[in-house]
Structure 1
Amino acid sequence: MSESKKRILILGVGNILYTDEGFGVRVAEELDQQYEFSPNVEVLDGGTLGLKLMGPIMDADYLIVVDIVLNEGQPGDLFRLLGQDLSKACAFKNSMHQTDLLDTLAQCSLVGTVPDDIVLYGVEPVNYQDLSAALSPELEARLPEVMDAVLAEVERAGGSFRPRTELNPAMEKIYVPRDTSRNS
């Protein structure tokens, strides 16, 4: 398979009802709203779906996951994790979905296949326990940087994108908008 034909999945995971826990989903939403991607790129709000994500993951050649991670950094720190670092960062028990992601990848490996390349863009959270549709101000401020990192990863993997305009608007509706009133 040629590099330009790799099937690329951008997977934002998390729970948007628990402050920074929803960061990955918010990145996926913003990418989908602001950019149109080449046919080999799919952007997916994985929420907390766990094993229900097996199909899309097994269909991908290149998986880009966006999430929060507890990686002993400062709040807002961005990490690009691969291999064992990815496993270590996802193995914490304080999240409603992180161990599900590792279990899902393990199940994909057992029953089918996992993508050749898996990259996790993780941001150290400030607050992932309070019930709120708002991100912390620190993570809200990191959205553009993380989006740029994901877009650069898409290009490295052989995908492309262009900004949306009125001629190519986003078709997905965001049903639980981010509350940004706390961040102004």
Structure 2
Amino acid sequence: MTLLYGTSTILSRSSKFPLRQHCSNILKLASFSNKTSLTPEQWLEALNIRTLPSKSFSFQFDRSSGPGGQKVNKSSTKCTLTIYGFSKCAWIPQEVRNQLLAKNLRYWAQSKDCIVIQSDQTRSRETNKELCLEKLVKEIKDICWFAKPVSSQNLEKWESVRRKTKESRLEEKKFRSDKKQLRQKPNFF
């Protein structure tokens, strides 16, 4: 490890990214997943590829079958995103997980309890990685749905509609009954 005093960051020889940036990602994960004040609706609304905790899933790069010509046989650009132990995943709220599992998330491998998403659309590793994350976010947002609270004005409006519909139905019923009564022979005795 090399310590650079002028920039006050620690750089690893194997990584080009500063340790400070790595620590900020960990803090972002902790603050995003541990906020108990966030409701599942707010969590779903705030969800995007930048707020996903990168430490909770793994990426694997393999040979691609997509575009690239002869380069396809030389470079590993297909990205496979895997989230292990999805049913116990702490960074996704329980209500969201329940909806995803109940509505058959298409990327969920039930036997291994993991999510597997692949992308080989481009010739770039990073672009395929972002496409995997976008697929995950899009699938979560498409499947999950939370009912919005109904205002009292709407409740009153629909209650009056129900009441008027019931009254008109009963009036129609009474009218038909009276019409049938008039068709019968009079009973004088």
Check whether TM > 0.5: no
TM value normalised by structure 1: 0.26
Larger relative helix fraction: 2
TM-score normalised over the length of structure 2? 0.25
